Amino acid sequence: MTDTLKSPTRRQLLSMIGKTAGATAMYQAMTTLGFASESSFKETLDLKGAPAGATIIVLGAGLGGLTAAYELRKAGYTVKVLEFQNRGGGRSWTLNSGDEYTELGGGKVTCDFEEGNYFNGGPWRLPSNHYAVFHYCKQFGVEMQPFIQTNDRAYLHRANHFGGAPQRLGDVKSDIRGHVSELLSKAVNVGSLDRSVNTEDKEMLLEGLKGWGVLDKDYRYVTSHATSKHRGYSVYPGGGLMPNSEPSSTLPMDELLASGMWSDIYNNYTVNEHHPTMFQPVGGMGKIGDAFTRECQEMIEYNAKVTKINQDDSGVTVSYVDSNNPDGEIKTVRADWCVCNIPLTILTQIDINVSAPMKKAMAAVPYDTSYKVGLEFKRRFWEEDEWIYGGLTYTDMPITQISYPSQDMFKDGSGVLLGAYGFGATSYKFNTLTPQERIDVSLAYGKHIHPQYPKEFRAGTSVVWHRIPWTLGCYGIWSESSRDQYYDTLCSIDNRIVLAGEHCSHIPAWQEGAILSGMDAAKRLHQKAKKLG
Amino acid sequence: MTDTLKSPTRRQLLSMIGKTAGATAMYQAMTTLGFASESSFKETLDLKGAPAGATIIVLGAGLGGLTAAYELRKAGYTVKVLEFQNRGGGRSWTLNSGDEYTELGGGKVTCDFEEGNYFNGGPWRLPSNHYAVFHYCKQFGVEMQPFIQTNDRAYLHRANHFGGAPQRLGDVKSDIRGHVSELLSKAVNVGSLDRSVNTEDKEMLLEGLKGWGVLDKDYRYVTSHATSKHRGYSVYPGGGLMPNSEPSSTLPMDELLASGMWSDIYNNYTVNEHHPTMFQPVGGMGKIGDAFTRECQEMIEYNAKVTKINQDDSGVTVSYVDSNNPDGEIKTVRADWCVCNIPLTILTQIDINVSAPMKKAMAAVPYDTSYKVGLEFKRRFWEEDEWIYGGLTYTDMPITQISYPSQDMFKDGSGVLLGAYGFGATSYKFNTLTPQERIDVSLAYGKHIHPQYPKEFRAGTSVVWHRIPWTLGCYGIWSESSRDQYYDTLCSIDNRIVLAGEHCSHIPAWQEGAILSGMDAAKRLHQKAKKLG
């Protein structure tokens, strides 16, 4: 094929037609390389042949529970789902205009946005390798649109570096590549890597560094039209006799290093889960929870607070009360098997007779906290003034990040920013603020990046996950050692009970983990049920 | 602010509220840094006060011509536009289901796609800093959607490397970062850069390289769960007791270097014009040409082939014939001024009395050729089989690249790939193929990347720009020396005639260049007309 590569003749081009042998060999090579076996989710579940009259109780109408309920009903089981809230979908949840809720501590959180604006308090983006999510979304008719994670025009910001001025992500990326390439070229050119790189590779390496780092003929990374072609100009090329373009200034390596902005890139952009292309459901992430709920509607009993889970040799009896009247009548439901999708934060407070190792596993997974603040502004100033369409800004201020909406871009009127989102220690502090204070704090910090904040602010809302009564936290935290000790036990079927949810997955905090866990729990429970007959 | 960064107390968080002095200072710093002055397109044109009764003839209804016509009419001129084709918009053009056209040489090109599928034979993507395009699109109601340029799941491909197997873009990017970081760490650790990097920076540099390159504790880039967290896994983490995740294998540096794939990254992904976020109009790029045409409808006379442009001291007389009957009646139109949007390939063949330097400038800009082949397939196998949603694959085969559609993702049924797109020498060879042969060749090469091609192919179409009668080429090629010698002359007003189009811009081949050129031509012509007027 080599001959035909650079500038094939007409005859060479045509000679390709009809050559088919290569393609078959190629196809085999490709499948061997794993194109088709790259996922833990290889095919749709198609469970069949539930024992006659077999029943399942699912506790919790989150995505893990509903996935199991959906698949087990298809297999022929009679399935009932108990849900604490008056809605299904769990953390797959969107706050829409007019919504409100009461958090632990009694704070009332409102969402007084304009019609059509929304805020994802929980999950908000989908990597394109989250196959199970997309499988069910396609099946359930949930429409997708691209979620812009990487926007090179968004910012990196450090309060005490570059005079507090935000730097364009694309500039920082270009400049890091440039400085690294310059340094490595220098090392290669003085021969200090001759033992690691042979002569032939050395030439190709230098050529690559020159192109990738946009180095000049002396292998230096400098302010120039050449580097501006990559990082952008201070005055962009124009038409006719408009002013000449002017190069933008490269950021010095030492300031870049001292700022710590580099870490924002490898913590947020190069990780596989944030690679483009990413997606979001049209209308908010809650559309996924809504779709699962709709598909499982007939099975779900809402406002059911589980108080006791008692299994014996022939089944599982679940006691529950009306979650709006917990001192009222205790109801019970009995089934042959139980899929428990209740977060461990809450499950560990419920009377449940599982084995001692399972109890230990359930107690071994603490939940991370997290806070999110949504800020609605009268106009989309980030687009109109700063030409930022989607993407994220990362900062070392306690708001941690600002995310620009990937929907309704170029539209006139209001828009909603994710104005603060973080985990860990700062999150616990954010949790101590009242709903109003969270908004005020997010505005006060955020205006250091976007001075338009005070003038354009319209309304705010928030979710601090440790105050959400039905989860008491954001997601299960696993360490390498807790995985080794407890994960298999937590996921195993304990007599007649199996747990499901993101906490029973290797993808905690992601909906994909919850769904895969639900699929796996359904599959194994079905196998056991068929065996026992 | 430092105190409050890592884990501020409640009081520290609250203390931010009400601090406003900083924001003002920040705002000034930001504007000084050029946030608001970054574009050659700073504001909308608002030309006013055309001399009473002044008239303008615009030749060519491409974006440059129509921008000038639109703005000059707003200023008060009586404007007429002559267009060779039976449609406006020029290269801002989309082939829709059922379209056909005849190219030079008599070849008939059809577009037998299913309803709703389309093919952009010309421009197809918009960088987010192309402000002028977005300004007019917003004004004219052209809806935008993200164009996915960078999709880390798309491929880089070399026919004779890695056994011909395509490699995921994200893998190659990760591995290049990793190998470069390992090498530079080695050089730094043995002290060979001590004269370039001081001790403090050295530590931060090593920390950065370790994070960015995903190096192990010994600063090596190796196959591991850590590197797979960035480049992706061979078996992805799952839910419940699904099979354990397995790391993917890193690509060796020497093979990567030999493959030349690195150059695909810096030629196609790091350049500013391809930075995310990019856009495309919903329904095809031709929606832009259509919108300009609609807005200028009353001014345009179609099927008008200009045969002579004759200016004198008081105006410009343009002779033209019916382009479907070139031997028929010669008509003339006279105006005070002329904006000429005719491509130089054609203009240089027309009788026009401009100055000798202008004639020389017009002849100094050759046109690049380019070919594009659109392939419609029965199903979106790139999504369904390979989880590629948008983005591009680059290859060293003569098809050069394959682009996956950014619209209709996740939909069932057919879809259209850009199956070949290139410039230069190979393009001239592609131009020698018949329309059918272009499709056959694109399929024959493309199946080495996507073996599904033969089975799933449905219909094809193409545009080879040197055979397009109304442009005879793709866009004007400028060199540094031709810019120095001829650009200002080409853009200057030659008595009563000014040229407009992408060839009169510093952004050749892009619609932004054409529009900015049209704006600038209109502005300068108006200034001159008012002065004389």
pLDDT tens digit string along B179-209?
999 999 999 999 999 999 999 999 999 999 9
C-alpha to C-alpha distance for A61 and A77, rounded to whole angstroms = 17
Question: Which pLDDT score, from 0 to 100, does residue B8 have?
Answer: 76
Beta pairing class for A55-59 and A337-340: parallel
Query: Nearest to residue B166, comparing CAs of A233, A26, A500, A419?
Result: A26
- B contacts of A64 (beta carbons < 8 Å): 239
> To the nearest whole percent, how much of chain B has pLDDT over 90?
89
Q: What is the pLDDT of residues B504-526, one digit of tens each?
A: 999 999 999 999 999 999 999 99
Cβ-Cβ contacts under 8 Å for B430 (sequence gap 6 or more): A13, B371, B398, B420, B422, B438, B441, B464
3-state secondary structure of B233: strand
Q: What is the pLDDT of residues B238-258, one digit of tens each?
A: 999 999 999 999 999 999 999
C-alpha to C-alpha distance for A85 and A90, rounded to whole angstroms = 8
Question: Which pLDDT score, from 0 to 100, does residue B267 have?
Answer: 96
Residues 19-38 of B with CB under 8 A from A: 19-20, 22-24, 26-27, 29-30, 33-38
B204 touches chain A (CB under 8 A): yes
Residues 277-296 of A with CB under 8 A from B: 277, 279
User: Do residues B341 and B62 touch, judged by C-beta distance below 8 A?
Assistant: yes
pLDDT along chain A (533 residues), means of 10: 59 71 49 46 85 98 98 98 98 97 96 98 96 96 98 96 96 98 97 93 98 98 97 94 95 97 97 97 98 98 98 98 96 98 98 98 96 98 94 96 98 98 87 95 96 97 96 96 98 98 97 97 98 85
pLDDT value at B102 more than 50: yes
C-alpha to C-alpha distance for A466 and A180, rounded to whole angstroms = 42
Nearest to A254 among B165, B201, B270 (CB): B201
pLDDT value at B3 more than 50: no
Which of the residue ranges A519-533, B16-30, B159-173 would you say has the lowest mean pLDDT?
B16-30
C-alpha to C-alpha distance for B351 and B310, rounded to whole angstroms = 8
DSSP strands (E only) in B126-241: 126-127, 144-147, 155-157, 167-168, 233-235
C-alpha to C-alpha distance for A310 and A253, rounded to whole angstroms = 63
C-alpha to C-alpha distance for A81 and A340, rounded to whole angstroms = 10
Beta pairing class for A370-377 and A457-464: antiparallel
- A contacts of B443 (beta carbons < 8 Å): 17
pLDDT value at B477 more than 50: yes
> Which tokens go with A59?
């506790």
Question: Which pLDDT score, from 0 to 100, does residue B78 have?
Answer: 98
Nearest to A445 among B16, B34, B515 (CB): B16
Alpha-carbon dihedral of residues A18, A23, A24, A28, nearest 10 degrees?
Answer: 180
Q: Phi first, then psi: what are they for A115, rounded to 5°?
A: -45, 130
C-alpha to C-alpha distance for B518 and B505, rounded to whole angstroms = 9
Give the mean pLDDT of chain B.
93
- Using a 10 angstrom Cβ sphere, with 0-12 exposed, 13-18 middle and 19 or more buried, the burial of residue A80 is buried
Could you tell me how far CA A91 lies from the centroid of its own chain?
12
Q: Which helix (H) or strand (E) holds A316?
A: strand A316-322
C-alpha to C-alpha distance for A277 and A140, rounded to whole angstroms = 21
Mean pLDDT confidence for B135-156? 97
Question: Which pLDDT score, from 0 to 100, does residue A514 have?
Answer: 98
Mean pLDDT confidence for B65-88? 98
> From the candidates B131, B196, B270, which should be mutated to test the interface with A, based on the most A CB atoms within 10 A?
B270
Please state, as a whole number, how many other Cβ atoms lie within 10 Å of the Cβ of residue A207.
14
What is the separation, in whole angstroms, between the first and last Cα of chain B?
A: 60
Residues 421-480 of B with CB under 8 A from A: 424-426, 429-430, 432-433, 437, 440-441, 443-445, 447-448, 451, 454
At B6, is the pLDDT very low, low, confident or very high (cuts 50, 70, 90)?
A: low
B246 touches chain A (CB under 8 A): no
Mean pLDDT confidence for B81-89? 98
> Which tokens go with B171?
């893998």
Chain A nearest-CA distance from B349, in A, is: 22
Which DSSP letter does residue A491 get?
H
- A contacts of B259 (beta carbons < 8 Å): none
> To the nearest whole percent, how much of chain B has pLDDT over 70?
94
User: Do residues A240 and B505 touch, judged by C-beta distance below 8 A?
Assistant: yes
User: Do residues B377 and B418 touch, judged by C-beta distance below 8 A?
Assistant: no
Interface contacts A/B by beta carbons within 8 Å: 449
Residues 314-373 of B with CB under 8 A from A: none
C-alpha to C-alpha distance for A420 and B8, rounded to whole angstroms = 14
Contact A174/B506, CB-based, under 8 Å? no
- A contacts of B177 (beta carbons < 8 Å): 270
Q: Which domains does chain A have, with CATH numbers?
A: 55-89+287-366+477-532 (3.50.50.60), 95-153+277-284+368-467 (3.90.660.10), 167-259 (1.20.1440.240)
Question: Which pLDDT score, from 0 to 100, does residue A429 have?
Answer: 84
Contact A240/B153, CB-based, under 8 Å? no
Nearest to A506 among B245, B424, B454 (CB): B245
Q: Phi first, then psi: what are they for B421, rounded to 5°?
A: -160, 115
Question: Residue A397's closest chain B neighbor by CA?
Answer: B5
- A contacts of B204 (beta carbons < 8 Å): 257-258
Contact B150/A146, CB-based, under 8 Å? no
Return the sign of the alpha-carbon dihedral for residues B361, B136, A388, B175.
Answer: negative
A199 touches chain B (CB under 8 A): no
User: Do residues B418 and B374 touch, judged by C-beta distance below 8 A?
Assistant: yes
Q: Which helix (H) or strand (E) holds B497?
A: strand B497-499
Q: What is the pLDDT of residues B346-403, one digit of tens each?
A: 999 999 999 999 999 999 999 998 999 999 999 999 999 999 999 999 999 999 999 9
User: Do residues B503 and B344 touch, judged by C-beta distance below 8 A?
Assistant: yes
Q: What is the pLDDT of residues B33-69, one digit of tens each?
A: 444 445 556 678 999 999 999 999 999 999 999 999 9
Question: Residue B279's closest chain A neighbor by CA?
Answer: A389
Question: Which pLDDT score, from 0 to 100, does residue B300 have?
Answer: 98
C-alpha to C-alpha distance for B340 and B336, rounded to whole angstroms = 13
B11 touches chain A (CB under 8 A): no
Helical ranges in A335-395 per DSSP H? 344-347, 356-363, 381-384
Cα Dmax for chain A = 86
Question: Which pLDDT score, from 0 to 100, does residue B2 have?
Answer: 44
B396 touches chain A (CB under 8 A): yes
Question: Which pLDDT score, from 0 to 100, does residue A36 have?
Answer: 40
> From the candidates A242, A427, A441, A511, which should be mutated to test the interface with B, based on the most B CB atoms within 10 A?
A242
